[in-house]
Structure 1
Amino acid sequence: MKLDEIHDNPGARKGRMRVGRGIGSGKGKTGGRGVKGQKSRAGVAIKGFEGGQMPVYRRLPKRGFNNIFRVDYNEVSLGRIQTAIDAGKLDASQPINVEALVASGVVRRPKAGIRLLGSGEIKSAVTLDVVYATRTATAAVEAAGGKVIAQLPLEAESDQV
């Protein structure tokens, strides 16, 4: 047996049907599209059309809105930072900022900055360079002997991860 002798079983691979190639082919004339109408033409786009009935996307009420001025931050908890330090991904002696968190894999991609949340516990004395920090997060870092450098003032208590 040679490589050029290897082939499929007869009938294992069926050729594609070529439409619009004459009546004798079985898929001639209209090419399997039926007759007339929008769907028999090229470039059909009847996405949400329901035959004249009010479509579902118009029957349901609109809810909420998207604030185009919303600033999106990476939310990082103290427990997540301590886990990265314990694993050797973060160096506690260096300042921890967005670039360090991205390089260590704690944050996938930098957004508008880091919001530090107080859930979890931190044992290392670290310097954290963030945009926001909750009061509990700041208190926990300072209790461990570290320092929080926040660019914006402390925000209200909202420790949710």
Structure 2
Amino acid sequence: MQLNSIKPADGSKHAKRRVGRGIGSGLGKTCGRGHKGQKSRAGGYHKVGFEGGQMPLQRRLPKRGFKSAQLKFAAEVTLAELQLLEAAEIDVSLLKAAGLVKQLAKSVKVIKSGELTKAVVLKGIGATAGAKAAIEAAGGSLA
């Protein structure tokens, strides 16, 4: 194979549409735009969502707020809050019972804020890198 013999695949290249070049092209005279009207004119078109002057759908509908579903079911616990708990083994149900996370929480993550001096074992709870290091330095672990 030589560089001068390379050709594109059949059908991958086609001639550009040349409008307004006579009736033989199939796109002569009105160039495929039809006859009169805004869309037939040069520069004549309307913005997306324009409904002819009628109040557009995006403005007729009421504005509503938004809350991410991920934030709704995820919760955070600090090291200082873990320090207050009496239990040595901590899981999500214990945190819910203690009132540290909402009842809807599906996942809990420990963040490094405050001090932890006692050893705790976390079951089914995530932790940031800093929080994990602090828990392991206090003699605890993540299971």
Instruction: Give TM-score, length-normalised by structure 2.
Output: 0.49
**Structure with greater helix percent:** 2
Instruction: Give TM-score, length-normalised by structure 1.
Output: 0.44
Q: Which has the larger radius of gyration?
A: 2
